[in-house]
Amino acid sequence: MQEFLTEYLIYGLILFLFILGPYGMIFKKNLVKKLMSMNIMQVSVILFFLALGQKEGGTIPIDLPGLVGAPHYINPLPHTLMLTAIVVSLATLGVSLGLLLMIQKNYGTLEEDELLRRMNQ
């Protein structure tokens, strides 16, 4: 059971999120929903890295008295890398929300089909 959860199900769920992202970007008409789908896709990549760092029986990677040696702590490197990736994702979100504010101000709509109609007038 544990093997199924840790070696197959987690990656299955990550794959589901990774496909859900582009699905939302293509099929949803609202620009904010497209943005959220993009964020879902980024989060799935972050989860992938984190799933790599887990160890059976490992605890948080802070030096605890009495626990010596690498097998007792989970790998902190993927967590560090993903902190960077989360910050990048946050900055992207900030820029894109600024762009959406400008689109709302200029065109008055955030729905893709209405936006295209108003742009081409």
User: Which residues in this chain contact other proteins in the complex, by CB under 8 A?
Assistant: 18, 21-22, 25, 31, 34-35, 38, 41-42, 45, 48-49, 52, 78, 81, 84-85, 88, 91-92, 95-96, 98-100, 102-103, 106-107, 115, 119
Instruction: Collect all residues with Cβ–Cβ distance below 8 Å to 15 and sequence separation of at least 6.
Output: 44
Q: Shortest Cβ distance from residue 84 to other proteins (Å)?
A: 6
Contact between residue 75 and residue 53 where contact means Cβ atoms under 8 Å apart: yes
* Closest CB 30 distance from other proteins, rounded Å: 12
Give the DSSP letter of residue 103. H
| Per-residue b or e along 20-43, where b marks 16 or more CB atoms closer than 10 Å to that residue's CB | ebeebbeebeebebbbbbbbbbbb
Query: Taking the mean position of all CA atoms in its chain, how far away is CA 11?
Result: 14
Q: Which is nearer to other proteins, 64 or 91 (CB)?
A: 91
| Closer of 35 and 74 to other proteins (Cβ) | 35
Decide whether 66 or 69 has the Cβ nearer to other proteins.
Answer: 69
Q: Which is nearer to other proteins, 59 or 106 (CB)?
A: 106
